[in-house]
Chain A
Amino acid sequence: MLANLANLLRYRGLISSLVARELKARYRGSVFGFFWSFINPLLLLLIYSFVFTTIIPNEEPKTKPYALFMFCGILPWTWFASSLSDAAGSLIAGGNLIKKVLFPAEVLPIVSVLANMVHFFLGLVILIVFLVIYRHPPDAWDLFWFPVAVLVQLVFTCALGLLLAALSVHFRDVRDILANLLTLWFFATPIIYPYFQANVQKYRPLFNANPFTHLAISYQEILFFYGPIGHWRWLLALGAASIPLFLACYWVFDRWRDSFAEAV
């Protein structure tokens, strides 16, 4: 298994060209092309602003401007959620490769995660533009934690992506279950409501058990709230836990590897 893992490094050229292909192919043929990567989060931001400032105005003064607050959590969540659903389908979609070419299958879910990470970065550009427009600059020192949060999320997402990809080869219904689960997960995470709200605090242990809570809070503290980041212990703990999780998921993937060429 470790040899295979090391092998993965040799394939980084392949991974990077597949990510590039994924990004190129996605918008090929559309009029706005690559701009969709900006337009999508922008439209999302506009919808949320409209809903939460006009229709259900938010009273909490600390989270103003509310649209911006939500956006800090929604962007990484979009990366996470679409990575997982892409990864879950990646082996089936890439069945041709697995069956016909000698090909390290784990490349496919990882490519899904990385391609979505690029979209995440492009979405950040929109976020930055709006932080400037709203004159809401984040603390410079907090930004140091940003790469840490991204890295933790990357490892965590890759772990789940590998597991889901392997599972969905044998159980096609994983993808449908996942779609519903992700909706539930989204609302169970303090993204469109703040963590410090009284109602949330009542169920604090439950929220703390949700790994994405810590990522969402970290991003909000880094990008939105003033003052030093208070959540770094949780973030590092999640990062530390993600590594064994990744190894465990990789182990499962590796054990099922030989069945892919036959079962896809």
Chain B
Amino acid sequence: MTTAIELSHVSKVYRRYSAKRFATLKSALLQRSILRELQPSETFPALTDVSFTVPKRSTYGGIGRNGSGKSTAHKLVVRILKPTTGTVSVKGRVSALIELGAGFHPEISGRENVFINGIMLGLSKREIQQRFDEIVDFAELREFIDAPVKTYSSGMYMRLGFAVAIHVDPEVLLVDEVLAVGDEGFTHKCLDKFAEFRRRNKTILLVTHSLNLVERFCDEALWLDEGRAMAHGDPLRVVGAYLTKVEEGEERLLASEKAKAVEDAAPVSEQPADPTSNMFQATEGRWGSREIEIVDVAFVDQGGQPAFVFHSGDPMAIRIKVRAAQPNDDFVFGFGLFNAEGVCCYGTNTYLEELTPEQLAGDADVTFAIDSLDLVEGTYKIDVAVHKRDGYPYDYHRLLYTFRVKSRIRDVGIYRPRHRWSFSPGVRFKAGRDDR
């Protein structure tokens, strides 16, 4: 198997110059410090010891967070940047869909820009002439092709750039997060074009945030994080590893948000005149007499560990620590669940569920356990409260706690009823996913 792209032990260090460096040539000359000032005062490693090979005729995906070095790796492959150490080798004509229409001049017509852009990307004039109609048709810009590019909408601009770049007919095609440019129809056309490239045994290097695309399209994938290769190989495995890491990050973020929300909660905003009428009006806060106090609220996963990110269908428990200053015999525990738009998804309390309070004294734990979190993907907030049967609040925590539900299925709505599909023999589905 021959390789199309090979990076071996590549590091790229960006130089960051101190603010002083933007001092003037004059001062540099006066202080005879030109050479010194051209030295980087600070460096930033964008890639550290990254190695990977992309075999010919394969589709290779690159994923990672913003700033993880994906685009730097891309630019190294196109040879816009040179590696600080290590070697990059690429075989065959490369076309990069990085910044579409980067070379367009706003004042001249689309037609002239197609020619100049094509020449920049390595085509000869005649080759462009041959492909011109195809390019214009692909971009769907026939009637505007003689208008100056500055009059184009951003979508038209991108489409024209994409059309030129893809008609360069490269051996190696680099795609950097450009599928988001056009409308639905154009995106489909682009995907078709990629599929065609694959069929014609071209090498594609795809950098994207669309994990779906990587799973569906790529033969192999690479996950970069802070300039290091975290995993590469089978796309499903790499995407899985990446998602796990993303969840960890979100957990940390939500944990710190929780601490902050509870701290910031307006201590005793006026007790709403009628708390129940206020149920659907989502403003954060905390109020109540604190005769019974909610000391801590935690989300607990099935292993009993505190967590903030759950998968749809997982069990979840909400553990509430309460403390009663005096022994008390009139108390109701309440729970409310809201989605990010502030819509109440569910609400209940012990009174509604006909539990009659007898006694609460000192420290106690209350657990609200959900066997299966049948929610669609999204961010949710909860209310927890303890109050008298007549509504007099002891401690009311409104929307102070946030958790996130993840799902591999992009269904919509609020609630996912347990369901399954069944079909009579006349309906058949393919085993895997469609390639589109």
Contacts and interface: CB of A to CB of B under 8 A. Distances in A.
Chain B binds chain A: yes
Interface of A: 13-14, 17-18, 21, 24-25, 28-29, 96-103, 167, 170-174, 177, 258-259, 261-262
Nearest to B25: A171
A202 B124 CA distance: 56
B410 interface: no
A17 B98 contact: no
Contacts of B121: 101
A174 B25 contact: yes
Interface string B356-388: 000000000000000000000000000000000
B183 to A, nearest CB: 24
28 contacts: A14-B119, A18-B116, A21-B108, A21-B116, A24-B108, A25-B105, A25-B107, A25-B108, A28-B108, A29-B107, A96-B102, A96-B103, A97-B102, A99-B99, A100-B98, A100-B99, A101-B80, A101-B103, A101-B121, A102-B94, A103-B103, A171-B24, A171-B25, A174-B25, A258-B81, A258-B82, A261-B80, A262-B14
B78 interface: yes
Contacts, number: 75
Prevailing SS type, chain B contact patch:
mixed
Interface size bucket, B side? 20 to 34
A262 B25 contact: no
Given A14-B120, A262-B15, A262-B81, 6 more contacts: A17-B125, A24-B108, A24-B112, A100-B80, A102-B78, A172-B22
Interface of B: 14-15, 22, 24-26, 28, 38, 75, 78-82, 94, 96, 98-99, 102-103, 105, 107-108, 112, 115-116, 119-121, 124-125, 148
A100 B71 CA distance: 11
B116 A100 contact: no
A17 B26 contact: no
B124 A97 contact: no
B102 A100 contact: yes
A17 B99 contact: no
The CB with the most chain A CB atoms within 10 A, among B80, B81, B124, is that of B80
A174 B26 CA distance: 9
Given A97-B103, A102-B78, A173 B119 contact: no
A202 to B, nearest CB: 31
B107 A102 contact: no
Contacts of A100: 80, 98-99, 102-103
B347 to A, nearest CB: 53
Contacts of B94: 102
Contacts of B124: 13
For the complex of A and B, the 4 pairs showing the least CB-CB separation, nearest first, are A100-B102, A100-B99, A171-B25, A25-B107
Nearest to B38: A170
B294 to A, nearest CB: 54
B221 to A, nearest CB: 24
Given A101-B121, A173-B25, A28 B103 contact: no
A244 to B, nearest CB: 22
A90 to B, nearest CB: 13
Contacts of B120: 14, 97, 101, 103
Nearest to B123: A13
A98 B120 CA distance: 11
Contacts of A262: 14-15, 81
B116 to A, nearest CB: 5
Contacts of A177: 25-26
Nearest to A258: B82
